[in-house]
Each structure stands twice: as structure tokens, then as C-alpha cells.
With several copies, the nearest count.
Chain A
Amino acid sequence: MSETAENFEDFEAAAIVRDDEALLVHVDGFEGPLDLLLTLARNQKVDIAKISILKLADQYLEFIESAKKLNLELAADYLVMAAWLAYLKSRLILPQEKGPDGEPTADEMATRLRWRLQRLDAMRAAATRLMGRERLDRDVFGRGDPEAVNVIKLRTYKDTMYDLLTAYATERARKLGGKSYRPQMAPVLAIEEARERLERMLGKISDWSALTGLLPFEWQGGARRRSAVASTLLACLEMARDGKVELQQMAPFAEIFVRDGQRGPDVPSNIPEATTPGA
């Protein structure tokens, strides 16, 4: 069946086989049993709406018989249709009787077949009309040389007065050899700054606190840290001399602890050995 369907024939080729003589030879030229039935119906040369289904069934069965005699291989759906038509024919000949439950009467079945043939016929006519329409670029044409829409770039500049003056000042300064001297600032925390900071923090230092815990946040890494430790220590020593803080170190190179010197000598030292960090 699918072989038949895949057999792409165009209208011209199909028209050739509609010749009675050719019917027997060209069974493959039909697009299935419905197509064959429609061709046979057309040969009756009456309105398909009024076609005699009995006569049509006879013609179809006759066709199948001759094909069998010629040993033509028939697709299964042709044989299914033949069996169905033989059944329909027998029921049409017999006096009208209701079939088994819900089965349509023979007349109803004939009407349905007639309608399907009409519909296929109508759709084919519609296809012919559709394909006969004037087609774009074959029969009718659009503008052969359409004019493209030009995209114009509206260029605006973002440069501002600031850019202009920066450019001028740097350019002029550069040309006049005038890289003005700006000393490179070494990453050093001034002792004054460290001391000021410590003095501000004194009230907030509750008990012995590790010196390294008192470094400014932004001075905690690398060379900056070393400078901050040194300056803070020097600031602490200065302040210890003035009696403002007390310092304690458990071992050489061990962590140095600081506390508020105003707490008075009566407060015992309570640095637990355990909290002493390793060197």
C-alpha cells in the first residue's frame, strides 16, 4: 500500500491510465483503491452523486479479477476494498434489512462511499484550481529591484568638557617635560597615627588584648602589616612609658599583650598561660 502511495505520479501520468484499455496494465498508476473507484465512476459518465454503486462494485471486482488473471501483484488494500464491495453488493441485492446492532444499512453504506468519492473528486478539482493560480515569481512578480532601507548612523560624541580639559592639561604638561614630582609614598603607618589610634581605642580595650589584634583593618597584609606592627609597638612603648598602657610578653617573639594602664596596679595579671599563642 505504501508502495502505491510513494509512487509519485503527476496528473498527466494519471490521466493516461484513465483510458479504459490501460486500466488492466497500469494498476500501479492508481493512488489506492479509492482513486481507482473514482476513475471507474468517472467512466460511467454520470454525476458521481447519482452513480450506481452496484454497477461500480461490479466494475471494481471485474478489474480485480482480470488483474489476478494477469498475475499482477495487487496491494492488500485493493483486496480489502474488493471484499468490502462484494459484501456491500450482496447486501444491496438482498431486500433491505437492518444489519446487526448499529450497523448502517446497505443504502447508508453506499451513500457514504458515494460521498467519499465526491469529496475526493472535489478536493482534486480544488487542487487543480489552487495550482492554476498565478504564482509569485512564476506568473506575477514583485519589484525586481527593491530599494533597500538605508540605515543611517547618527553619530554623536560623548566627549565632554572634562575630557577636553583633561586632554589639554595632560598633553601640555607632558610636552613641557613637566611630569611634576610626586614622591612615592612608601606603605608606612606613621607612629603618630598608630598612637592616635591606640589612644582612641583605650577605653574599648577591656582586658589584655593581643597587639596584632589592634592593627587597623586596612593594614593587615604584607609589607603594610609589618609597618603597622612596628609602628603600633613603638606607639605602645611610648604610651607605656607615659603609664597609659601596660604591656606583657610571655617569651621572646611571642605575642605582645596590651591593656589599659589606668586600671590600677591592684588588678592582678590574669593572662592565662593557655591563651598564650605560640611564637
Chain B
Amino acid sequence: MSSVAKMIETIEDQMEVESTEANPEHLRMVEALLFAASEPLDQKALSTSLPEGADIPGLLQALEAVYEKRGVNLCCVAGKYQFRTASDLAFLLRKEQPEQKRLSKAAIETLSIIAYHQPVTRAEIEDIRGVAMSKGTIDILMEIGWIKIRGRKRTPGRPVTYGTTEAFLIQFGLESVAHLPGVDELKAAGFLEAIPPSGFDVPNPSEALGPDEDPYDPNEPEMATGSVNLDEA
């Protein structure tokens, strides 16, 4: 065993000597910061703690490579970085948690539709599922913190649009919504289009405001009809 340790040490020494341009000291700092943090850190947070001029993207890339095959991996979630245990070791660590009120089939489907189709209105969700949505489904997902109201559609009635949150990305280990599993295939098949296969205008699930979407203003009066509520104006 000690021969292994020695071999590892040699590797470490080697690393130190050769990677002078990667600045091994900066690498150690990023490593320490990410290890210590309880939340994912973004590049900006890292750069405030590192010496000026440190090559943060390069350091993260190097660190990701170092940990690639280890028991702990560096993951990019929601555009931030976090060390997580390797997914193939889940069996070792898995905790049977009383999962938040096991999600219903309706809630799971609704969450997926919101994730892949965002920004999406309630009517669009109902069109895809072919069934009216109960109030509870959206409420549960909002309560868990995986979805949020993100804007309003510039269509009659100005319906609110839903999208996923950072907590959703962190929970599911996604770098961004563009990294949702199978999103490219769904897009290619035209299933993420709002309107049946007429062909044009392929919306990406996007966190940026859609072309016909306004940012959500909680003070905007609710208008089921097109009438203007003069009292609130």
C-alpha cells in the first residue's frame, strides 16, 4: 500500500512541477473554496476570493479533469460549480428520504412540460396533456421551489408564463435548461413547438424572456378579460 502512496506522491510532485502555467496555488484555492462551500459557487464568487488575474475558467476546467474519475466530481449546476459525490457511488450513500410528498404523475408531467417548454402558460400545458390542470399541481411545484412565474405572454388576457428555478437545476444536476435530457431530440422532432408541425419558429426552452413574453410584474392587475380595472390603474 505504501508503494501506492509513494506513487501518488510522485504524481503529485510531477503535477506541481509541470503545471506552473496553471498556477497550482490558484488550483488549490479554488479546490478549497469549492470544498468548503455549502452551496454551488459561480465564477464571480470565486474570483473575489482569488488573486487578481487568476484564470478562473481554466482552473475550473483543470479541476474538473482532476476529479473526473474520482469519488467526488466537480459539477456545473445552474452555471455554478459544486463538488458532488460521483453518481455511480449513489448505492453507497443513498438516503431513503421521505421524498416531499411523492410527486403525483400529473405533477411530474407538468414539471417536465414546464422545464422543456418554458416559457409556457397554463393553457399550453393543458393542451399538451389534454386535460385541465388542477390548481394543486402548480401549487405543489411552486412550494417545492422548482418552478416560478417568470413573465406574461403578450396575448389577450396576458396569461402568466411558468419556468423552472435555479433550485430545480441544482436538484437535478443540470448546468442549464439547455442541458435537459433529450432536449435536442425533442426539438428536432418539433415537439417543443407551440403550434403543430407548421415548421417555423422552433422555441428553445429558454430562461431568457420569449419574444412574446413580458417580465412578470406582481403588481400588474390580473385581467381575465380584456377590460381595464380602473380602480387599480
Consider the complex of A and B and state whether they touch directly, i.e. have CB atoms less than 8 Å apart.
Answer: yes
Interface residues, chain A, CB within 8 Å of chain B? 1-2, 4-6, 8-11, 13-14, 31-35, 77, 112, 115-116, 118-120, 122-127, 129-131, 133-161, 163-169, 171-173, 175-180, 182
- 15 additional A-B residue pairs with CB within 8 Å, beyond A33-B130, A124-B109, A127-B108: A10-B102, A112-B196, A118-B191, A120-B128, A122-B186, A131-B108, A141-B84, A142-B36, A144-B37, A151-B97, A155-B101, A167-B111, A173-B196, A176-B199, A177-B197
Does B83 contact A138, Cβ atoms closer than 8 Å? no
Interface size class of B (residues with CB under 8 A): 35 or more
In this complex, the member of A35, A119, A163 whose beta carbon has the largest number of chain B beta carbons within 10 angstroms is A119
Does B85 contact A141, Cβ atoms closer than 8 Å? yes
A-B contact pairs, 18 of them (CB 8 A): A31-B106, A32-B129, A115-B197, A116-B196, A127-B109, A136-B170, A139-B87, A139-B90, A139-B94, A144-B36, A144-B37, A144-B39, A147-B36, A151-B96, A152-B97, A163-B108, A166-B191, A167-B105
Q: Does B171 make an interface contact (CB < 8 A)?
A: yes
Does A5 contact B95, Cβ atoms closer than 8 Å? no
What are the residues of chain A within 8 A of B108 when measuring CB–CB?
A: 10-11, 127, 131, 159, 163-164, 167
What are the residues of chain A within 8 A of B170 when measuring CB–CB?
A: 136
The answer to whether A120 and B105 touch (CB under 8 A), given A154-B97, A169-B191, is no
In this complex, the member of B102, B105, B136 whose beta carbon has the largest number of chain A beta carbons within 10 angstroms is B105
What are the residues of chain B within 8 A of A119 when measuring CB–CB?
A: 128, 191
Q: Does B162 make an interface contact (CB < 8 A)?
A: no
The complex places the Cα of A168 from the Cα of B185 at a distance, in Å, of 13
The answer to whether A8 and B105 touch (CB under 8 A), given A143-B38, A152-B95, is yes
The complex places the Cα of A163 from the Cα of B113 at a distance, in Å, of 13
In this complex, the member of A34, A134, A140 whose beta carbon has the largest number of chain B beta carbons within 10 angstroms is A140
Does A145 contact B200, Cβ atoms closer than 8 Å? no
Cβ distance B131 to chain A, nearest Cβ, rounded Å: 3
The answer to whether A123 and B197 touch (CB under 8 A), given A1-B132, A141-B36, A156-B99, is no
Considering the complex, give the chain A residue whose CB is closest to the CB of B111.
Answer: A164
